[in-house]
Structure 1
Amino acid sequence: MRAIRYVTSPQRRNQLPAHREPITAPGAPEAVGPYVHAVRANGLLFCSGQIPLDPKTGEIVGATAADQAGRCLENLAAVCDAGGATLGDAVRLTVYLTDMASFAAVNEVYESFFESDPPARVAIAVAALPRGALVEIDAVVALPD
């Protein structure tokens, strides 16, 4: 099998097409890789995964998966705000867990953020996450009219 790599010119490398608007959230931690906090396109906000980093220090927050899930959701809320929406506008979240034994505890924290009309969700067990995090959460958000 042969991999195909799409290469852009240096001028286009850091630009998104006009129908895709990059969002950088001042209230969220800096990205730990080559990506933006979110991309706004066609009435949706596609939020990059958030790990439980403190926005001021860049350090992991929380010793338990439940504590970390809360910080991830707070970070996502900041990204949503920067993109012109709220976390309550989310239509789908993906929760990545390094240990499914923490699923119930993470659900309790998750419920506190979505007390009514929660979005669709997927929870996936993974072997590891960046910076040793126990939880990462990403989101797709419907932008208000």
Structure 2
Amino acid sequence: MIQKCRYDFLPAIAGPYVHAAKHNQTLYISGLTALGTNAQSGGLIEQTEEILSQISQILEAEDCAISDLIKLTIFVTDISLLSSIREQLFDFYQGHLPACSLVEVSALIHPDLQIEIEAIAGLEHIHGV
């Protein structure tokens, strides 16, 4: 069974999707951005901080930890700025490095946005598997 998840603590959804979906002990987190937050008009570092905070809040709400992250996919509009967020990512992972893909894209859903991150986390520990 697939369970669709919306989280009241995240910015309102403005499209045809949910914040996350659970299936077979796995949590699939939709691409998150700083859209609708104070960080929207900020730079890459501020937007990244906002998105990583959103991911942390989702993991906490699902009784998960950073160590439960399986994979992140990061979309950036300027890959040359990657070095400016590399340390942020290492700090966020707390030594639990997930698989990760980084993709440069020509644009995101709003011209202010410079980064979008989607994530996959394991839920096995919740059900004692």
Secondary structure (helix, strand or coil) at the match of 1:101 reads helix
- Whether the aligned pair in 2 keeps the contact of 1:29 and 1:75 (CA below 8 Å) is no
One-letter identity of the residue aligned with 2:117: I
- Whether the aligned pair in 1 keeps the contact of 2:73 and 2:100 (CA below 8 Å) is yes
Consecutive aligned runs of 4 or more in structure 1 exceeding 3 Å deviation: none
Query: Are residue 142 (structure 1) and residue 122 (structure 2) matched?
Result: yes
- Whether the aligned pair in 1 keeps the contact of 2:19 and 2:29 (CA below 8 Å) is yes
One-letter identity of the residue aligned with 1:104: S
Pair 1:24–1:81, CA change in 2 (3 A): farther
Per-residue deviation, 1:69: 0.9
Choose between structure 1 and 2: higher helix proportion: 2
The structure number with the bigger radius of gyration is: 1
Query: Are residue 101 (structure 1) and residue 83 (structure 2) matched?
Result: no
- Whether the aligned pair in 1 keeps the contact of 2:66 and 2:94 (CA below 8 Å) is no
Q: Which residue of 1 aligns with 2:17?
A: 35
Quick one: distance in 2 between partners of 1:84 and 1:22?
A: 16
Structure 1: gaps (5+ residues):
1-18
TM-score, normalising length: structure 1 = 0.78
Identical residues among aligned pairs (%): 26
Per-residue deviation, 1:67: 1.6
Secondary structure (helix, strand or coil) at the match of 2:82 reads helix
| Larger RCO (CA within 8 A; separation ≥ 6) | 2
Per-residue deviation, 1:36: 0.5
Q: Which residue of 2 aligns with 1:59?
A: 37
One-letter identity of the residue aligned with 1:134: Q
Quick one: distance in 2 between partners of 1:98 and 1:71?
A: 17
Q: Which residue of 1 aligns with 2:8?
A: 26
Residues 63-82 of structure 1 aligned to structure 2 (within 5 Å):
63-82=42-61
Q: Deviations over 1:1-46 (max 9, x none)?
A: xxxxxxxxxxxxxxxxxx1001111221112211111001000000
Structure 2: gaps (5+ residues):
none
